[in-house]
Structure 1
Amino acid sequence: GPPPAPLIPVYPAAERAVRSLAQAVRYAKWRRDSADPGRVPEYEDIEETAAGEDIDRLLDELAQHADITRSVPLPADDAHALLARYGIHVRPAHPAPDPDTAVRAAARLGYPVALKTTAPHLRHRPDLGGVRLDLPGEAELRRAYAELTDFLGKPAELRPVVQSMVPRGVDTVIRAAIDPAAGAVLSFGLAGAPSQLLGDTAHRLIPATDRDVAEQIRSIRTAPLLFGWRGSQPVDTAALEDLLLRVSRLVDDHPEVVGVDLEPVVVAPHGLAVLDATVRLARPPATTDLGPRRMPAY
Structure 2
Amino acid sequence: APAPRHIPAYPAAERAVRALGEAVKYAEWRRKAAEPGRVPELDAVDEAGAAALIDRLLHAPATPRQGTGGVGQHGITLAPGDAHELLARYGIPVRPALPAPDADTAVRAAARLGYPVALKTTAPHLRHRPDLGGVRLDLATEEQLRTAYAELTDTLGKPAELQPVVQAMVPRGVDTVVRAAIDPAVGAVLSFGLAGAPSELLGDTAHRLVPATDQEVAEQIRSIRTAPLLFGWRGSAPVDTAALEELLLRVSLLVDDHPEIVAVGLEPVVVAPHGLAVLGATVRLAPPPARTDLGPRRLPSY
Would the TM-score normalized by the shorter structure come out above 0.5? yes
Deviations 1:192-235, CA, capped at 9 Å, x for gaps: 11111111111111100110110011111111111111111111
Q: What is the TM-score normalised by the length of structure 2?
A: 0.94
Amino acid of the residue matched to residue 254 of structure 2? L
- 2:95 aligns with one of 74, 91, 94: 91
Amino acid of the residue matched to residue 26 of structure 1? K
Q: 1:14 offset after TM fit, Å?
A: 2.9
Q: 1:12 offset after TM fit, Å?
A: 2.8
Q: For the residues of structure 2 that align with 1:270 and 1:85, how far apart are their CA atoms? A: 23
Q: Which residue of 2 is the match for residue 171 of structure 1?
A: 175
Q: For the residues of structure 1 that align with 2:271 and 2:59, how far apart are their CA atoms? A: 36
Q: For the residues of structure 2 that align with 1:32 and 1:191, how far apart are their CA atoms? A: 31
Q: 1:278 offset after TM fit, Å?
A: 0.3
Q: Which residue of 2 is the match for residue 102 of structure 1?
A: 106
Q: For the residues of structure 2 that align with 1:7 and 1:148, how far apart are their CA atoms? A: 72
* Aligned residues of 1:111 and 1:137 also touching (Cα < 8 A): yes
* Aligned residues of 2:126 and 2:134 also touching (Cα < 8 A): yes
Q: Which residue of 2 is the match for residue 221 of structure 1?
A: 225
2:53 equivalent to 1:54: yes
Q: Which residue of 1 is the match for residue 264 of structure 2?
A: 260
Aligned pair in 2 of structure 1 residues 292, 139: CA closer, same or farther (>3 Å)? same
- 1:283 aligns with one of 271, 281, 287: 287
Q: For the residues of structure 1 that align with 2:275 and 2:292, how far apart are their CA atoms? A: 40
Q: Which residue of 1 is the match for residue 24 of structure 2?
A: 25
Q: For the residues of structure 2 that align with 1:257 and 1:267, how far apart are their CA atoms? A: 25
Q: What is the TM-score normalised by the length of structure 1?
A: 0.95
* Aligned residues of 2:58 and 2:71 also touching (Cα < 8 A): no
Aligned pair in 2 of structure 1 residues 244, 198: CA closer, same or farther (>3 Å)? same
Q: For the residues of structure 2 that align with 1:285 and 1:51, how far apart are their CA atoms? A: 19
Q: Which residue of 1 is the match for residue 297 of structure 2?
A: 292
Q: For the residues of structure 2 that align with 1:126 and 1:149, how far apart are their CA atoms? A: 15
SS at match of 2:60: helix
2:117 equivalent to 1:118: no
Q: Which residue of 2 is the match for residue 269 of structure 1?
A: 273
Deviations 1:246-276, CA, capped at 9 Å, x for gaps: 0000000001101000000001111110000
Q: For the residues of structure 1 that align with 2:107 and 2:143, how far apart are their CA atoms? A: 9
When structure 1 is superposed on structure 2, of 46-55 and 177-186 the one drifting more is 177-186
Give the CA RMSD over aligned residues: 1.5
Deviations 1:19-61, CA, capped at 9 Å, x for gaps: 2222122111111111111111112310001101110110001
Amino acid of the residue matched to residue 211 of structure 1? Q
Q: For the residues of structure 2 that align with 1:150 and 1:160, how far apart are their CA atoms? A: 13
* Aligned residues of 1:178 and 1:184 also touching (Cα < 8 A): yes
Q: For the residues of structure 1 that align with 2:54 and 2:177, how far apart are their CA atoms? A: 24
Q: For the residues of structure 2 that align with 1:120 and 1:131, how far apart are their CA atoms? A: 14
Q: For the residues of structure 2 that align with 1:136 and 1:32, how far apart are their CA atoms? A: 52
Q: Which residue of 1 is the match for residue 212 of structure 2?
A: 208
Q: Which residue of 1 is the match for residue 202 of structure 2?
A: 198
Question: Runs of 5+ in structure 1 lacking a partner?
Answer: none
Q: Which residue of 1 is the match for residue 14 of structure 2?
A: 15
The alignment-based identity, stated in percent, is 75
SS at match of 1:61: coil
Q: 1:7 offset after TM fit, Å?
A: 5.3
Question: Runs of 5+ in structure 2 lacking a partner?
Answer: 64-68
